[in-house]
Chain A
Amino acid sequence: GQQVMQIPQYQHVQEGEDFTTYCNSSTTLSNIQWYKQRPGGHPVFLIQLVKSGEVKKQKRLTFQFGEAKKNSSLHITATQTTDVGTYFCAGVGGSGGYQKVTFGIGTKLQVIP
C-alpha cells in the first residue's frame, strides 16, 4: 500500500536559521498537501502541489514537488519563533476512481530564540 515517509522527525534550529523537511512516497502521487499543527492545536492546511516539478512559495516557505511526483519538501528561510509546530505532508494517490490520503509522521520544529 501507499506509504509516506517524512524526515527528520524532530528539528531544533536557532532563530534565523533555515529549516527543511522532506517527504517520500512509495508510489506516484496525484498531489501532495502540507499542513502545520501548532502546539495544542489541530493541523491546518498550508498548500497543495499538483504538477510535476512544481514550486510554490508562501512568504518564507518554499514547497517543492518532485519531477516523479513521489517526493516533496518544505523549506523555511530564516525561521522565526512563530514557525514552531509540527509540519505534516499528506500524499494523495490511488488507482481507479478513488484516491487515498496518507500522512507522513510529521516533523516537529523547535525554534530557539
Chain B
Amino acid sequence: KAGVTQTPRYLIKTRGQQVTLSCSPISGHRSVSWYQQTPGQGLQFLFEYFSETQRNKGNFPGRFSGRQFSNSRSEMNVSTLELGDSALYLCASSSNSIKEQYFGPGTRLTVT
C-alpha cells in the first residue's frame, strides 16, 4: 500500500504571496489532518477533514484554509504569507479520527 504523499516537498515564497500544498492519503483513508511543525513548537494542529467536511480546526488565522476532495485528497492554502509561516507542513491520514495517523514526508515552506 502506498504511503501518504505530499507535494511539493520544498517551496520558497516571498511575503504576501499565497501557497497551496497538496496531500494524497493512503488509499481507503477518509480522514486527513494538517499540522505545522516549527522548532520548539511541536506539532501544531491546523485542521482535520473527513469525507470532504472540516471536522475540527486549530487556532490558526483565517489565512490558513483547506479542503478535501471526493477522492480524499486534500489541499491546504495559506494566503498573504508571513515570515512566521516558514515551517514544515505535515499531512496525516487515518481511517478515522481515533485511529493511528500516517504522516507524509511534509512540505518545507520557506517564506523570505
Contacts and interface: CB of A to CB of B under 8 A. Distances in A.
Nearest to B103: A42
B43 to A, nearest CB: 4
Contact of B97 (A42, A99, A104, A106): A99
A88 B43 contact: yes
B97 A100 contact: yes
Contacts of B101: 33, 35, 43, 45, 90, 101
A73 interface: no
Contacts of A30: 98
Given A42-B105, A42-B106, A43-B103, A103 B97 contact: no
Contacts of B35: 103
Interface residues on B, range: 20 to 34
Interface majority SS (helix, strand, loop, mixed), chain B: strand
Interface string A80-107: 0000000010101000001111111110
Interface in B65-112: 90, 92, 97-106
A78 interface: no
Interface residues of A, number: 22
A108 to B, nearest CB: 9
Contacts of A105: 41-42
B56 A98 contact: yes
Given A101-B101, A106-B42, 8 more contacts: A31-B98, A42-B90, A44-B103, A92-B97, A99-B97, A101-B97, A103-B43, A106-B43
